């Protein structure tokens, strides 16, 4: 496949005559032209698609998207603006790990009482390149058929591009398989967290009487996970991804949380998995989400593999075998745990009803469990919040014994 596509391939639109100041160049030579938005410059990454209709700011600040260019399938992105509260990265000193975003329609003037600024200006401030005015349905269909390609997104107001150079850059990028991206998004130092979940009319609260102490290992931690832990009665201490098990255990936690994050779990696992194994052997309750789930599986003897198109969206049905209930979940992952590799000591607890892939595990003889999806993202809206209560119950049971 070696074609050039312009907005003429999409349905006619009032912005079709806008200057074509951006390009998305795929590793197979495909060139897609559109209107540039956000930051100028170029960035290379893996092109995926997200099917969520809302939450674009949370998606664009999710550290798990480091190294990726996000295609939004919903056409109206930016219509509620941006604000400080919806930023998900807990490492505020770091820029968003996302490499760029692809939009169908131009960013409109925000219309929401919470909007603090226009999304275009917000993208500029965070160094995120965007391209708009293209047929995102066609690009999504291409990803579903052929898998997630590597690509270069570039925005230049002059409209001048060295296409051959961009094609070569896209083709040369090695891709996420084997790539450790956690150093881009993890915090460089430890810190405490006590902010609780947002309540209508009150905003965010504070956990002033915690029952438990949880150490959260930051592989790309989202702020709302921290809020859910605090709301469940936990004092949270966040430590960097490189923290040693001895250092974590010296803080005398009641439980350990393994966070979400980007990249290949096997690559990050080279230094993280041996420490996770020590934490499991300590007997403490351990709870993992997303990358934390994948690396916990590796620590228990399972394997992970790259997915064809990944799971990115807020409408993914998952069945919990422990309750026999179906949850509507939010997902963001391009790697998955190979269920066939799970050892006999590990029980599969959750499965995707889209493709049957693994979405949760637990140890049969220790208080250790994890899920692939994001219970804190609340698409259900609170179908999966019981997982934080389950973690707390495990800590309460151990503390009581």
The residues assigned a catalytic role are: 290, 374, 376
CA dihedral over 276, 295, 340, 317, signed as positive or negative? positive
Contact 156, 21 (CB under 8 A): yes
How many CB atoms within 10 Å of residue 118?
16
Closest of 151, 184, 201, 116 to residue 31, by C-alpha: 151
Nearest Cα residue to 35 out of 142, 166, 122, 129 = 129
Q: What H or E segment, with its residue span, contains residue 275?
A: helix 265-281
Q: Give Cβ neighbours of residue 104 (< 8 Å, ≥ 6 apart).
A: 10, 72, 75, 77, 132, 133, 134, 135, 136, 137
Reduced to 3 states (helix: H, G, I; strand: E, B; else coil), residue 77 is coil
For residue 333 the two structure tokens come to 């992952």
Q: State the DSSP code for 82.
A: B
Nearest by Cα to 64 from 242, 171, 218: 218
Residues pairing with 255 in the sheet: 214
């Amino acid at each position: 496949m070696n074609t050039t596509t312009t907005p003429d391939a999409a349905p006619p639109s009032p912005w079709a005559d806008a200057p074509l100041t951006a390009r998305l160049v795929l590793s197979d030579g495909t060139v897609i032209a559109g209107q540039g938005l956000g930051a100028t410059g170029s960035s290379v990454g893996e092109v995926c698609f997200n099917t969520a209709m809302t939450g674009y700011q949370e998606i664009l600040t999710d550290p798990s998207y480091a190294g990726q260019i996000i295609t939004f399938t919903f056409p109206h992105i930016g219509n509620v603006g941006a604000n400080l509260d919806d930023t998900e990265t807990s490492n505020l000193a770091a820029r968003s790990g996302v490499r760029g975003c692809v939009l169908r329609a131009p960013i409109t003037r925000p219309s929401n009482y919470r909007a603090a600024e226009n999304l275009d200006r917000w993208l500029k401030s965070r160094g995120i390149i965007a391209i708009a005015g293209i047929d995102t349905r066609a690009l999504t269909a291409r990803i579903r058929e052929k898998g997630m390609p590597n690509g270069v997104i570039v925005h230049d107001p002059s409209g001048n591009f060295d296409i051959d150079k961009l094609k070569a850059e896209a083709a040369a990028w090695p891709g996420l398989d084997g790539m450790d991206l956690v150093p881009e998004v993890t915090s460089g130092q430890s810190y405490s967290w006590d902010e609780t979940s947002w309540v209508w009319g009150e905003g965010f609260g504070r956990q002033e009487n915690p029952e438990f102490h949880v150490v959260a290992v930051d592989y790309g931690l989202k702020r709302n996970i921290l809020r859910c832990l605090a709301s469940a009665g936990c004092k949270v201490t966040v430590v960097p991804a490189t923290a040693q098990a001895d250092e974590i255990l010296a803080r005398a936690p009641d439980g350990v949380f393994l966070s979400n994050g980007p990249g290949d779990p096997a690559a990050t696992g080279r230094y993280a998995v041996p420490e996770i194994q020590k934490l499991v052997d300590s007997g403490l309750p351990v709870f993992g989400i997303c990358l934390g789930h994948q690396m916990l599986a590796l620590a228990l003897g399972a394997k992970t593999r790259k997915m064809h198109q990944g799971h990115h969206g807020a409408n993914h049905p998952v069945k919990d075998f422990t309750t026999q209930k179906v949850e509507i979940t939010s997902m963001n992952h391009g790697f998955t745990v190979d269920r066939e590799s799970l050892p006999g000591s590990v029980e599969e607890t959750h499965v995707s009803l889209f493709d049957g892939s693994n979405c949760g595990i637990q140890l049969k003889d220790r208080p250790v469990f994890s899920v692939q999806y994001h219970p804190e993202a609340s698409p259900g809206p609170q179908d999966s919040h019981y997982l934080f209560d389950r973690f707390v119950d495990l800590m309460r049971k151990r503390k009581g014994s």
